[in-house]
């Protein structure tokens, strides 16, 4: 075990002091590799450390003190952390757009005055993941069922700004310019009966709707009456709030006999107008839809099929006979 020694000079002329020569020759030493200096008289080689006393391997005298401590972590400069933060933000935005909320821009006046041209609405995409289906009165965004949108003027120019918009719309930072999505209000769901006649309010399952959300001066069905329509299961009947300026279920039903929107085409429910701030508002379900029954009033119940009816007729007498027999046994 090596001990670093220091030479001290006294006032009388610098007599050299050596270890092991008695009190006058006491030396000050530091054991390399220890957590702190060890000071004391040295009586022999290696006497200044437990390892030396036990005959251990000598430590490196040039090893710095505290070498076993964990080195401090070097902090990155901001310009190196900025790209990492941007990537994390983009990934979070992409996840939110895909599974939770997405922004959509309103390109036309078919939903005025509820939605204005240029408004940005936030659409709930999380609820459908849990099996929830659109309900009457909700404003929903859905993919084009086929032929509802005019492709004229929808082709992109391919310029730099178009590329930027596509990149930002992919992660949900901007609405897409070429997605074939529409936004309308759900009037009826699968199994409902809709009555849409000129000069009359819209009726769902026999109940007339009070529609204060209609554009001022617009009529419920005068411009596109369809009569009485039953909505198939798994489909929706939708209309715009500006009835005189909306190509919704009515004109498409008159043209093709369909006009229904598959539930699977629904992207989500629009629940708030987020931009501009001056137009901020929520999009609740109007109270008039609470009065609509789940099926048409007065519609007969479906009779069971013939085999099921025969089976039911045969089971009832047997059940009555077994009950009487159980009572006699108990008596």
Per-residue DSSP letters for 47-66?
TTSHHHHTT-PPPPTTSPTT
Using CA atoms, how far apart are residues 2 and 59, in angstroms rounded to an integer? 8
Using CA atoms, how far apart are residues 308 and 315, in angstroms rounded to an integer? 11
Catalytic residue among 110, 169, 246, 249: 110
Burial of 172 (0-12, 13-18, 19+ CB in 10 A): buried
Active site residue 110: yes
Positive or negative: CA dihedral 325, 326, 327, 331: positive
Using CA atoms, how far apart are residues 79 and 90, in angstroms rounded to an integer? 17
Active site residue 278: no
Catalytic residue among 97, 125, 184, 203: 184
Positive or negative: CA dihedral 143, 146, 148, 152: positive
Angle subtended at Cα 117 by Cα 244 and Cα 275, rounded to the nearest 5 degrees? 140
Give which of 148, 142, 291 is closest to 211, Cα–Cα: 291
Using CA atoms, how far apart are residues 47 and 279, in angstroms rounded to an integer? 85
By annotation, the residues acting in catalysis are 110, 184
């Amino acid at each position: 075990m090596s001990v670093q020694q220091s030479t001290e000079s006294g006032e009388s002329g610098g007599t050299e002091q050596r270890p092991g020569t008695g009190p006058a020759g006491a030396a000050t030493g530091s054991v390399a590799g220890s957590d702190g200096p060890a000071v004391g008289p040295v009586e022999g080689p290696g006497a200044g450390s437990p390892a030396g006393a036990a005959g251990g391997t000598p430590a490196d005298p040039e090893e710095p003190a505290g070498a076993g401590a964990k080195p401090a972590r070097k902090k990155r400069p901001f310009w190196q952390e900025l790209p990492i933060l941007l990537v994390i933000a983009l990934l979070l935005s992409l996840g939110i757009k895909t599974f939770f909320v997405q922004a959509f821009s309103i390109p036309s006046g078919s939903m005025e005055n509820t939605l204005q041209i240029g408004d940005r609405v936030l659409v709930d995409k999380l609820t459908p993941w849990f099996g929830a289906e659109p309900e009457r009165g909700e404003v929903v965004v859905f993919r084009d069922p086929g032929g509802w949108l005019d492709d004229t003027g929808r082709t992109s120019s391919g310029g730099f700004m178009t590329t930027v918009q596509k990149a930002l719309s992919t992660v949900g930072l901007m609405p897409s310019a070429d997605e074939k999505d529409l936004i309308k209000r759900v009037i009826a769901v699968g199994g409902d009966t809709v009555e849409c006649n000129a000069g009359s309010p819209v009726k769902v399952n026999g109940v007339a709707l009070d529609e204060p959300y209609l554009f001022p001066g617009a009529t419920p069905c005068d411009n596109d009456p369809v009569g009485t329509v039953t909505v198939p299961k798994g489909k929706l009947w939708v209309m715009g709030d500006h009835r005189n300026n909306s190509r919704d279920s009515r004109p498409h039903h008159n043209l093709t006999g369909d006009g229904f929107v598959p539930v699977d085409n629904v992207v989500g429910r629009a629940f708030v107008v987020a931009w501009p701030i001056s137009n901020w508002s929520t999009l609740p379900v109007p109270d008039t839809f609470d009065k609509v029954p789940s099926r048409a009033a007065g519609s007969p119940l479906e009779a069971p099929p013939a085999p099921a009816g025969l089976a039911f007729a045969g089971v009832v007498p047997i059940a009555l006979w077994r009950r009487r027999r159980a009572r006699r046994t108990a008596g």
